[in-house]
Structure formats: structure tokens, C-alpha cells
Amino acid sequence: MIFLDSRFRGNDKNRSVTFYEFIKFCHEESFIMRSDILKKDIETLPHRALLMSTGLKEEDFDQDKPFVGVANSYNNIIPGHIHLNELTGEIKRGIRDAGGVPFEWGVPGVCDGIAMFVEMRLSLPSRDHIADNIEIMVLSHSLDGWIGVTACDKITPGMLMAAGRLNLPAMILTGGPMKANVVGGDKHHPIEGFGLVGQVKGGRMTAEEAESRLPSMTCGAGSCVGLYTANTMSVVTEVLGMSVTKCATTLAVDPLKKKEAYESGKRIVDLIREDVRPRSIMTTNAFENAIRVDMAMGGSTNAVLHIPAIAKEAGIEIGLDQFDKISHETPNLCSIIPAGTYEMADIDRAGGISAVLNRLKDKIKDSPTVNGGSITQIAARGDVLDDDIIRPLENPFHAEGGIAVLKGNIANSAIIKQTAVSEEMQVHSGRARVFYTEKDLLAAIEAKEIEEGDVVVLPFQGPAGAPGMPEMLTPTDALKGAGYRRVALITDGRFSGATTGPCIGHVEMEAYNGGPIGAIEDGDIIEIDIPKRSLNVRLSDAEINERLKRVRFPERDLTPLLEYYREKFRGRDCYGGSYESISD
């Protein structure tokens, strides 16, 4: 309970109200900010003493100075986050110059590339943990609004989820992409190392030769160079209207990034004073726009996990059928690593996300942004500076967008990045090879037990089964690196944004929850037809059901967090809904 002064109590000096009654009052009464309760009431005298012990001055408690949270996900483990302290310093300077008072705290971040293959099960749970972290810090300290400083895979969607959940003034600064290391005219970067593992396992390269490539793959600060998950979610953030224009593509090492940080710091103070809240920005139109731009650019399949989760926190339902519908309608205009040769720096040079929006301007729906203008205004002003990097609608790289949703007797739904699949593998049938761990699959590749035409199946990798739904980049790139051209992979886990080829993930329902993928055995014939959106195994329903009675779950060591996550998704799909609600 929080005791308030006479403006809240009326004639009853002993009356108390709940925290959420206070929040409602603050929303209805424009003359007060949430932080005002800390600034003047006698009951919060010790609160002010504590804040002044951190360095605040008496003038920081002026009624017109909003308290602004800065959720800084800096660490020196993730390349995309090593420079975020510098950007956070500029944000705080901007907040101060605009008349606000900044309060910074640390937000955790997992480097998916480093966690990959070793312990990848905690990455997706960290997204929800980040949203909880921000809820705890913002509400516990009566902050008037906040800004998230982020770059990589699960941190950005976690922050956007918090924005929708709290619906207090908020915006995001993404740290910017990494620049590829160019050696002899060829682009090199850390993620290519996963393919080298495959070449070693496939006997096409020695371990010593692979190690000798290490210096050329070392780049520096920024989220990995291609349209992997980190940069996909930066693009989504900008199109949703939650970051300043050009933020998604401005390189981490570009001096402009610090200017964006400073301007974002100033802008969050304006948003607080204007009472502009995330749910007024992240509208249904905004989510549809974000999906459309993602389809046009060919972003990571992880966007299909994150966008519905963010929308749900904002009170909006996004179904998988919306992704497939928009993908059918939207040509693929960009060919970005890993599906193509261009890097994010090239997209920036060609005009950035506003240029992509300009290509799609007749399909973009009106929605506000943190900039003050609308997304359609930004699209109208966009200027494409290179017609091959961002192609016109009449000359796309592919007729349809990046992602397809497949259905059949294996899956109520499954996801594939169709623009990263060769023409010869758009329709394929092959014998199943079932593995329960990535290590077993890598051993089979090394022993040359996989044959061209096979369909590798990795069940029990979902949010409940693994648990935590780890990414499968190591096996997918190992298959590619080993030289296989006609091997598909199916899993109820997920894939990195770096994955290419006929790799089908997010199979629902997952094996742990009784899904048919758990019934597949070695030698079964799997049929994949991407244009027809179908995924089937040549088994009758009766055969599948009989086999499911005999399925034994693999035993796995679980931490308390993973045990919690398994229970959270027991009987639910990977999007957090019932199996009847996977699609619209």
C-alpha cells in the first residue's frame, strides 16, 4: 500500500490506495508524473535520502523533471554489446539536456553464437526474463518512462515485450550491425565458422586449416553482419516505430550511432511529457508493416516467434496465417547474408529501412512512431540509392517473401525461410534419419552416414522438450559445410537467422507434447512441398497414433529455470497459445 497526500486521500487522511490505483490516477491526471510520489511527500523522505546517496541533487526532484530509466544490456561477452556503455552515456546526456533525470541498470544478454551447441537452452527463456527485469525495475522505482539499449537476439524482443506490457512511455536504441572484414575482396565474419565446422566434419578441410581462418573472421563491435535474428529484430523495432529512423542499419562503429543515442535520450523525455505510450505506437497496422518489411528483406525465422510475443504483450493477437498471407503478397527485394551476398552495411548505404519502406509504400499502413511523424511519412521520404541492393517491386529476388508456413500430418504448423532454399529443394521427398542430439548428428556427418536426399529429423527440441527450444545452426551449417546439397532438416526446435537451406523448424505440436514428429522413425519417407505449403510423412493417422503410444522421452539434465520453462510450455505451442490458436 502507498500513502498519498490530500490530493489523493480527499477528506480521509488515513485512506490508502494500491499501486495500480495510483498508476491509474497518474494516467488520468495530466499534472502529475509517476515519480512525483518520490519527490515531495513526507512519507518518501527516506526515499529521497537514498536517491541522493546515489548522487542525485535536490534540484533533480523538481516536479517537471521526469525520472527516466535506461535499461542497458552492455556486457563484454557479446560483440553486439561491447560498445553499449558508450551509447548509454550519450543517451543519459540527452536525457539530462532535455530536462530529465536518468537512472541506469544492467540487463542480461546471451550471445546465441557462443551458447550454440554448448548450452543453447537458456537463450529463449532469457527473452522473457529480460521483460520481467524491466517490469521489476521500472515499476519498483516509480520511473516515468524508460529507454532500452540493446543489439542482439533475445534482448531486443524482450525489451519490446516489456514496452507493450508496461505501456509506459518507452523507446529502443539498437546498437547497430557489425561491419564485415573484407580480405582479398571477400567478406568474412564470425558466423562463417559454423560452416567451417561442417567442412572439417565432412573431411573437406583439416581442423588446422579451419583454425587458420580465425583472424579473417574477427570483426569487432556490432550485431553479426547479415540479416540474422539480431538485425532482423532491429529492423522490426524501427518499422514498429519504436526506434529513431535509420537506427536499425547504422553501423555500430559509425559516429552517427552516438548521435542517434543522444537524440533518443532527448526524445524519450518528450514522449514522457507528451504521454505517448507504446500501445499507441505498436498498433495492429505497425505489426503488419513489420511483418511485411521482414518478408521483403528475408529476415530470420525467429521473427515468427518474437513478433507474436511482442504483440501479445501489447494486447494484439498475431497468428501464423498472417505471416504466410503477407509473405504471399510481398516480393523479396533484398538478398542479404546468409541468403545472399549483401551485408547490413550495404542496406544502410542503399538508404536503410526507410528506403525499403519506400519500395513498399503502397502496402504500408499508417501508424505513429517515436519520431513524432507516421511510418507512411517516413516511407514517402525514403530514397533508394542502389536498385540492386534494394530492388524495385517489378524486379525482385523472389516473387514471394522470406518465410513460408507449412502444414500436414507432421505439423499443425512449421516454419521455413523459403528464400534461402534452392529451386531443386522446393519440392523434395526422402528417407528420414532421426537423431535426438546435435552431437549424434555431427558424429553421423563425420562418419558419412548421411546420404544425399535424406531428411534429418531432430525431435524433442521444442520449448518443453529440450526444453528451451535451442537453435540448430551447428547441424544445419555442418550439413552445408560438408557439401550436402539435397539434405533437409526438420525439428520442433528453431533455427538461427544464419541458417540456410531446406531447414524446417517450429514444428507444432512438438514431440514432447505428443506431436507426430515424435513418431517418425528411420526410413520413413518425408514429403516437403514449399509452394503448396505442405509437410507430410507417408504414414496413416492410425500408424502415427500407434507409434506415439510407444514414444519414450529422452532424459535431460534440467536447471530450475529449465524445469519452470518446461512446465510453462507443457501442452502449449511455442507461441504460448493452445494448439487450436496457432493460426488465425
Instruction: Give the sign of the dihedral formed by CA 216, CA 418, CA 573, CA 551.
Output: negative
Residues 249-259: tens digit of each pLDDT: 999 999 999 99
Q: How far apart are CA 439 and CA 16, in angstroms?
A: 59
| Residues 192/358, Cβ–Cβ less than 8 Å | no
Residues 349-377: tens digit of each pLDDT: 999 999 999 999 999 999 999 999 999 99
At 54, the pLDDT band (50, 70, 90 cuts) reads very high
Find the angle CA(469)-CA(471)-CA(472) to the nearest 5 degrees: 125
Unique residue bearing C-alpha cell 540448430? 472
Task: Give the domain 404-581 fold.
Answer: Glucose Oxidase; domain 1 (3.50.30)
129 pLDDT more than 50: yes
Alpha carbon separation from 290 to 233, 376, 393 (Å, rounded) = 10, 13, 17
Q: What letters, b where the CB count within 10 A reaches 16 and e where it falls short, cover 531-541?
A: eebbbbbebee
125 pLDDT more than 90: yes
Q: Which helix (H) or strand (E) holds 207?
A: helix 207-212
Joined together, the cell numbers standing for residue 135 give 517490469
At 323, the pLDDT band (50, 70, 90 cuts) reads very high
At 475, the pLDDT band (50, 70, 90 cuts) reads confident
C-alpha dihedral (408, 153, 219, 290), degrees to nearest 10:
80
Residue 11's pLDDT is what? 44
Unique residue bearing C-alpha cell 553464437? 113
Task: Break the chain down into helix, strand, coil percent, rounded to 5.
Answer: 40, 15, 45
| Residues 160/242, Cβ–Cβ less than 8 Å | yes
Residues 60-107: tens digit of each pLDDT: 999 999 999 999 999 999 999 999 999 999 999 999 999 999 999 999
Average pLDDT over residues 120-127: 96
580 pLDDT more than 70: no
At 12, the pLDDT band (50, 70, 90 cuts) reads very low
279 pLDDT more than 50: yes
Backbone angles phi, psi at 107, to 5 degrees: -120, 135
Q: How far apart are CA 202 and CA 199, in angstroms?
A: 5
Q: Where in the chain is the domain with CATH 3.40.50.2300?
A: 66-180+219-381
Residue 29's pLDDT is what? 47
Backbone angles phi, psi at 536, to 5 degrees: -140, 160
Burial class of residue 215 in the structure, from the number of CB atoms within 10 Å of its CB (0-12 exposed, 13-18 middle, 19+ buried): exposed
Q: Give catalytic residue positions.
A: 496
Which of 19-33, 311-325, 335-349 has the lowest average pLDDT? 19-33
Q: Is 374 left (phi over 0), alpha (psi -120 to 50) or beta?
A: beta
3 pLDDT more than 50: no
At 28, the pLDDT band (50, 70, 90 cuts) reads very low
pLDDT, the chain, mean = 92
Residues 182-227: tens digit of each pLDDT: 988 889 999 999 889 888 988 889 999 999 999 999 999 999 999 9
Find the angle CA(309)-CA(353)-CA(313) to the nearest 5 degrees: 15
Residue percentage of the chain with pLDDT more than 70: 93
- CATH no., domain 66-180+219-381: 3.40.50.2300
Residue 516's pLDDT is what? 97
Which of 268-282, 453-467, 497-511 has the lowest average pLDDT? 497-511
Average pLDDT over residues 410-416: 96
Residue 184's pLDDT is what? 86
Radius of gyration for the alpha carbons in the chain, expressed in angstroms and rounded = 25
Bridge partners (DSSP) of residue 263 are none
Q: Where in the chain is the domain with CATH 3.50.30.80?
A: 404-581
Give the pTM: 0.92
At 476, the pLDDT band (50, 70, 90 cuts) reads confident
Q: What letters, b where the CB count within 10 A reaches 16 and e where it falls short, cover 410-442?
A: bbbbbbbbbbbbeeeeeebebebbbbbebeebb
Do you find a cis peptide bond into 215, omega within 30 degrees of 0?
no
